[in-house]
């Protein structure tokens, strides 16, 4: 069955409704991945070929059930007869009763053990399936963002390429650009870098609730080294007096310094104070008790 929807999750859900089965019982092949396009253009829906893999339990004929019931009754009669003979031979009803109860308890424990093992296997299978679907969903989302970022970069007119695109951590995407026009894209005073970083952050954070780390050539790496050297004196003051503040910083320097200080002093208050213009001061102090 061919299903078309705006994204893979919707297509799978629609397939489960039409096939009248659970999402876990659907096997599907992606014919076309969804694409959001850029600024409303080139948008494509997800298309999948789906089928149900749910096994239908065979119907038990009443006749077979009747035969099995009779066999059980016959076996039960044989067991009772054996128990009666055994009782007569031993001439000890209490001893037979104890043996019988011990056997029944052992059978019950074995049955519970088997049920528990089946439950654990089934639970692990459900978790693995859910984890697999979650990973596939995150991969699809990352591919979707990558395509749109590449479309944006290509439209800027710079000799620049997207050389690396991956999850930096659970909440940040690393976007690394490089090329002959790297310096032009960064701009004087990092003006174009700030504008591009703000544009990408606003779009990706509002739509996907993720943050970005934009690296153009080695700009971010070099800026990080500069901030680390500057913060050495600030860190020494914090360690000796318990508090300190940075000089006015702007742009990416604020973000880098904030991350480094929060990582170094996780149990202190590390906040930002707005100065005149676009500059900001980072303040480190003890939390108010």
Give the domain CATH number at 165.
3.30.300.20
**In whole angstroms, what is the distance from residue 130 CA to residue 107 CA?**
35
**Average pLDDT, integer, range 190-198:** 90
pLDDT tens digits for range 36-85: 766 556 678 888 888 887 655 555 455 555 666 667 677 666 666 666 66
**Average pLDDT, integer, range 252-272:** 92
What order of strands is seen across the sheet that includes strand 269-274? Answer: 244-245, 280-285, 269-274
- pLDDT interval class at 289 (50, 70, 90): low
> pTM of the full predicted structure?
0.51
Q: How many helices (H) and strands (E) does the chain have?
A: 7, 9
Considering the domain boundaries, does residue 130 fall inside one?
no
- Residue at which a domain ends, from 183, 200, 219: 219
Considering the domain boundaries, does residue 126 fall inside one?
no
Considering the domain boundaries, does residue 36 fall inside one?
yes
Check which CATH number belongs to the domain holding 235 and give it: 3.30.1370.180
**Average pLDDT, integer, range 2-31:** 82
In terms of Cβ atoms closer than 10 Å to its own Cβ (0-12, 13-18, 19+), residue 30 is middle
Longest Cα–Cα distance of the chain, Å, equals 106
Clarify whether residues 236 and 204 are in a common domain.
no
Query: CB of 161 within 8 A of CB of 138?
Result: no
Instruction: Kindly report the three-state secondary structure assignment for every residue of 123-149.
Output: HHHHHHHHHHHHHHHHHHHHHHHHHHH
Residue 276 is classified by DSSP as: S
Considering the domain boundaries, does residue 132 fall inside one?
no
Considering the domain boundaries, does residue 31 fall inside one?
yes
Clarify whether residues 73 and 12 are in a common domain.
no
- Please count the structural domains in the chain: 4
Which domain does 230 fall in, by range? Answer: 221-285
- Residue at which a domain ends, from 171, 189, 219: 219
Cα–Cα–Cα angle for 8, 9, 11, rounded to 5 degrees: 60
């Amino acid at each position: 069955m061919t299903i078309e929807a705006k994204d893979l999750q919707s297509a799978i859900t629609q397939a489960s409704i039409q096939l009248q089965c659970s999402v876990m019982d659907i096997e599907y092949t992606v014919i076309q991945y969804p694409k959001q396009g850029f600024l409303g253009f080139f948008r494509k829906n997800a298309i999948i070929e789906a089928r149900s893999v749910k096994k239908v339990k065979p119907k038990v004929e009443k006749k077979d059930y009747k035969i099995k019931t009779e066999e059980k009754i016959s076996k039960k009669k044989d067991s009772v007869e054996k128990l009666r003979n055994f009782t007569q031979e031993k001439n000890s009803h209490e001893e037979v009763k104890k043996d019988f109860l011990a056997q029944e308890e052992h059978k019950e424990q074995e049955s519970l053990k088997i049920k528990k093992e089946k439950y654990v296997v089934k639970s692990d299978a459900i978790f693995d399936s859910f984890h697999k679907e979650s990973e596939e969903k995150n991969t699809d989302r990352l591919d979707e963002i990558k395509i749109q970022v590449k479309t944006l970069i290509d439209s800027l007119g710079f000799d620049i390429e997207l050389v690396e695109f991956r999850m930096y951590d659970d909440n940040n995407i690393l976007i690394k650009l490089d090329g002959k026009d790297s310096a032009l894209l960064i701009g004087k005073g990092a003006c174009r870098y700030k504008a591009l970083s703000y544009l990408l952050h606003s779009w990706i954070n509002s739509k996907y609730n993720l943050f970005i780390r934009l690296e153009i050539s080695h700009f971010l790496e070099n800026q990080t080294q500069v901030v680390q050297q500057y913060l050495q004196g600030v860190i020494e003051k914090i360690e000796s007096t318990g508090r300190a503040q940075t000089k006015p910083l702007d742009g990416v320097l604020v973000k880098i310094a904030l991350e480094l200080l929060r990582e170094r002093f996780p149990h202190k208050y590390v906040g930002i104070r707005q100065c005149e213009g676009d500059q900001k001061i980072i303040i480190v102090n003890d939390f108010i008790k």
